[in-house]
Chain A
Amino acid sequence: MITAGIDMGAKNVKVVILKDDKILSRSLTPGRFDQKAAAEKAFNEALQKAGLSHDDIEHVVATGAGKDVAPYANGEISMMGADALGGAFLFPSARTVIDVGAEEGRAVKCDEKGRMVDFVINERCAAGAGTFVEAMSRALEVKLEEIGPLSLKAERAVPMNAQCTIFAESEVVSLIHAKTPKADISRAIHDAIADRIASMTRRLGIQRDVVLVGGVAKNSGFIEALKRALGVDLLVPDEPEFVGALGAALSPTRRIGECEK
């Protein structure tokens, strides 16, 4: 069976096409301004990469914050359900999947079949999401791709007092004025968001193995900071931002989520 998952994220739309549990193609399009158009583009690109036409796809399952406006979809699954399925598919030993996206952070507890058991979510505060790191990279005047690796060069752990993204921006500026090395500031930034994600995850209870997914999981500085904050090792897949779309694409064969056909 050929299925597709469309993850309508706050920043990017991700599409995964799957044939009998094998990934045929992936595609990502920025979708902050027009999610629907971005989804159409990503979907058609993924089809092209896989050498398929729309008719070849039996199920198109949408997930993510904008799943209600997803084109082509004939089914849907919650973001937490998709995280659990995708995380456990890649790492069968996964019992906790942490997903840190652009505007949300989630932790999902799952069973050995990748079924969601429980979850916690932060969608109300930017300080626990990728937006925080983006804002800090602007304040620090370091490119987003470079801020994580830079934090790994820190010599000292500088505390960050501000919890709020807006207040943290001013604090970063003050730290720069105080001649704090940018690597140390960068570590403070990653420790700050990692602390938020760790305390959210602790509300759920940390059950190993712990998998980290979502766009922020591409940031090496964040991975290290979260390992420190949680005190456990983390399993991080390649292309972690596609795990939600992967989970959505897996859902028809696992009979999880809602499909019309």
Chain B
Amino acid sequence: MSKEYWRWPEYRRTLPDKDWKAAKIVTGGVDIGSVSSKAVIITDGELYAYSIMRTGSSSPDSAQKAMDWALEGTGMKLDNIQYTVGTGYGRVNVPFANRAITEIACHARGANYIWGPTVRTVLDMGGQDCKAIHCDERGKVTAFLMNDKCAAGTGRGMEVFADLLSVPIEEVGPMSLSVEKEPEPVSSTCVVFAKSEAVGLLRKGWPKDMVLAAFCSAMASRISELLEKIKVEKDFVITGGIAKNIGVVKRLEEIIGFKALPMKEQFDPMIAGGIGAALFAKALYEREHQAA
């Protein structure tokens, strides 16, 4: 089989120097996106372990696999997790979840946790949609806008281009920034048209980095429309897989004239929704047990 350039790395991680057995409350957040599934485990409100993998054809299976992988090597069993919240596109299909909460609420909550209470605008650039969210100092959603109808401005569009140009998806961003002069963007309204434009440009002899620059710039311009509508307020952060694509992020910052807070080493931006879900799980668990 030929190399699948769109295939981004799947991985799991346990944060160092943490003993889950000493924790009072262990909760989970499972974010089943249309493209990726994320399972997050937090102990007493602090990130403990997580996994990020491709969503399969069945949401319940994907949820189970992601959680099994997050638990791997920790000695923890699913039963040790006291409360789990499902989120994302497949949130109602997480078999072991106690509750389902929308990914919009979870991303805002997760971003508030990762970057702190100064966050007011969260841009979640996901696999098949893009959301711009306003939140308050507690990470509560105050407004949001979303594009989930069209692949332009989503991770799927980026996957299509990685495949078209045979460039591993993690290299797309850096490669797109290696151009000397920024080219005109390709279509920002339709990935299919952008793709046929790109084929034409390659035939004209454009190098790959130029074509990728033209696509990253189209993507940034598409996403900026959403942010212009909702109006960006400081602090601004980016979550979701495309947050890791510097070619899109840099161009987006240029267009909107705002810089996003930098990513934090221990928090992959893809798990913001899962973290939010696990934090909601902790709050819900505590509420239920106080009431009891």
Contact = CB atoms under 8 A, between A and B. Distances in A.
Interface in A83-116: 103
Interface in B197-227: 200, 203
A32 B57 CA distance: 35
B192 A165 contact: yes
A33, A124, A164, A165: residue with the most chain B Cβ atoms closer than 10 Å: A164
A166 B157 contact: yes
Interface stretch (B12-20, B112-120, B148-156, B177-185): B148-156
Chain B interface residue count: which class? 10 to 19
Contact of A164 (B151, B187, B196, B203): B151
B191 interface: yes
Contacts of B157: 166
Interface in A3-50: 32-33
B200 to A, nearest CB: 8
Contacts of B192: 126, 131-132, 135, 165-166
A132 B196 CA distance: 13
Interface string B112-150: 000000000000000010000000000000000000011
Contacts, number: 42
A174 interface: yes
A140 to B, nearest CB: 16
Contacts of A135: 192
B149 A166 contact: no
Interface residues of A, number: 16
Given A33-B203, A164-B150, A174-B57, A124 B190 contact: yes
Contacts of A124: 187, 189-190, 193
A90 B149 CA distance: 38
B160 interface: yes
A16 to B, nearest CB: 26
A126 B190 contact: yes
Contacts of B160: 166
Contacts of B187: 124
A177 interface: yes
Nearest to B191: A166
Nearest to B160: A166
A126 B57 contact: no
Contacts of A177: 57
A69 interface: no
Nearest to A163: B149
Contacts of A174: 57
B113 to A, nearest CB: 31
Interface of B: 57, 128, 149-151, 156-157, 160, 187, 189-193, 196, 200, 203
Closest 8 CB pairs of A and B: A126-B192, A166-B151, A124-B189, A164-B150, A165-B192, A164-B151, A163-B149, A125-B190
16 contacts: A33-B200, A33-B203, A124-B187, A124-B193, A125-B189, A125-B193, A126-B190, A131-B193, A131-B196, A163-B149, A164-B149, A164-B150, A166-B156, A167-B128, A167-B151, A167-B156
Given A103-B193, A131-B192, A164-B150, 5 more contacts: A103-B196, A124-B193, A132-B192, A163-B149, A177-B57
